[in-house]
Each structure stands twice: as structure tokens, then as C-alpha cells.
A and B are shown apart, each in its own frame.
Chain A
Amino acid sequence: DVVMTQSPLSLSVALGQPASISCRSSQSLVFSDGNSYLNWFQQRPGQSPRRLLYRASTRESGVPDRFSGSGSGTDFTLTISGVEAEDVGVYYCMQGTHWPPVTFGQGTRLEIK
């Protein structure tokens, strides 16, 4: 199985400040077509997860442009350029390149300082 390791596991950020979450995979996520099938999800308190980014850096329709993704191979990063109150929740990375199984990171909890 591909192990997805996120860091940090929790993050406390002041409003308007940037935040970054790292996601590392135990194998390269580059598929034969050259894409890395790495998704980022946000789960707000009491809600279902919502996809923010796919293929590591493509933003989902309707997602604010303060969210961006980067990386390839085994190292990926989710960056929030300026944290807002509505960004509180847990963030997960997920790989869909090598399956079964599809695997998720442990999650990173974001709170406002």
C-alpha cells in the first residue's frame, strides 16, 4: 500500500497569515500519463469532505484562489495564502495513482490562533 504522511498534524494560524501542509507518499505518484493523481480535501466541522484540488494543483470549481497545490513525485504541498475563519477544519491528501487501495493521509487540523 502507498502510505501518505502529512505534516504537521495540527496547525494554528492567525487570520490573514499563510499556512502550508505537506503530504509525502511512500512511492512516486506519477502515473504513466505523466500526471500525479493527488487530491486535497477539506472537512469542515460536522460536514462531509470537499475536494479542493486534484492532479496535485488543479483547483476545483468554486474553490477560492487562496488555496493552491504544488509538488510531484512523492512530495506535495497545500498552501493557503491568507487563512480565513471559514478555513477551520481538517485537511486530507489522497492518492489515486496506485490502487487498490486508494489511500489517505492522517489529516491535518487547522485552527485559528
Chain B
Amino acid sequence: QVQLQESGPGLVKPSQTLSLTCTVSSGSISRGDYCWSWIRQNPGMGLEWIGFSYDRGSTSYNPSLKGRATISLDISKNQFSLNLNSVTAADTAVYYCTGGSSSSKIASWGQGTLVTVSS
């Protein structure tokens, strides 16, 4: 199974852009049969799918985010990233990156990183 590790700032100011990176090991992100997702979990709450990249660069996002999210691949570094703009306190959460086959979507998870939106 692939191994994933999130990295990025733990604190972001309101109205700014949240940027996270996921480093993938034991597998190539250029494989066409895999989805690379971002999921978040508000403290003490459930899981919300943000979006994924699939088929070597196509993307799909949760409509609830109203176009604020962008997921991109860096094949040279075997990484994928999340940018979430115009953040508010409601975006405070633990953010997970995941990988999974194009059929089941989500299998392996990173350890998660807490991002707090506060001035």
C-alpha cells in the first residue's frame, strides 16, 4: 500500500489561502488507475471529502466548497497539493491526504495535519 504524509502550515489567517502538500511513497502518483484525495475532519466531527485528482490530472471537487479548492499533482516530486482560498474559522480541521484505486476511491490515509484558521 502507498504511504502518505501531509505537510504545511498549522495556522492560517482568515481570508488567506490554506496550502498543504502530500508526499507519496511506495507508489507513483502518475499511475492512471488511482485517485489522490483530500479529506478533512472538523474537531470531534465527521469526515468531509474535499476533492480528488484522478486519471493523471483530472480533478473533481465537493460542490459545498463553492470553487475554493484546487488539487494539483507534482509528478517530479511524487507529491500532490491542496489550495483552499478565502478561508474562515469554519475551515479549521484536521486535513488528511488519501490514495485509492479509481473504483473504491479511498484506501490509504496519511496521519493528518491540524490547520487552524485564526488571526
Contacts and interface: CB of A to CB of B under 8 A. Distances in A.
B110 A96 contact: no
29 contacts: A35-B103, A37-B103, A39-B104, A48-B96, A48-B112, A49-B47, A49-B109, A50-B109, A51-B106, A51-B107, A51-B108, A55-B103, A92-B46, A94-B47, A94-B105, A96-B103, A96-B104, A96-B105, A100-B61, A100-B63, A101-B49, A101-B61, A101-B62, A101-B63, A102-B52, A102-B106, A104-B46, A104-B49, A107-B47
A1 to B, nearest CB: 8
Contacts of A50: 109
B111 interface: yes
A102 B111 contact: no
A99 B104 CA distance: 12
Interface in B65-90: none
Interface residues of A, number: 22
- Main secondary structure, interface of A, reads loop
Interface residues of B, number: 23
Contacts of B105: 37, 39, 94, 96, 99, 102
A107 B107 CA distance: 17
Nearest to A38: B104
A79 interface: no
A106 interface: yes
Interface of A: 35, 37, 39, 48-51, 54-55, 60, 92, 94, 96, 99-107
Given A39-B104, A100-B51, A101-B49, A48 B63 contact: no
Nearest to A99: B60
B64 interface: yes
A94 B62 contact: no
A106 B41 CA distance: 11
B34 to A, nearest CB: 13
Given A96-B105, A104-B49, 11 more contacts: A48-B96, A49-B96, A50-B109, A51-B106, A55-B103, A60-B107, A92-B46, A96-B106, A99-B60, A101-B61, A102-B105
B62 A48 contact: no
Contacts of B61: 100-101
A59 to B, nearest CB: 13
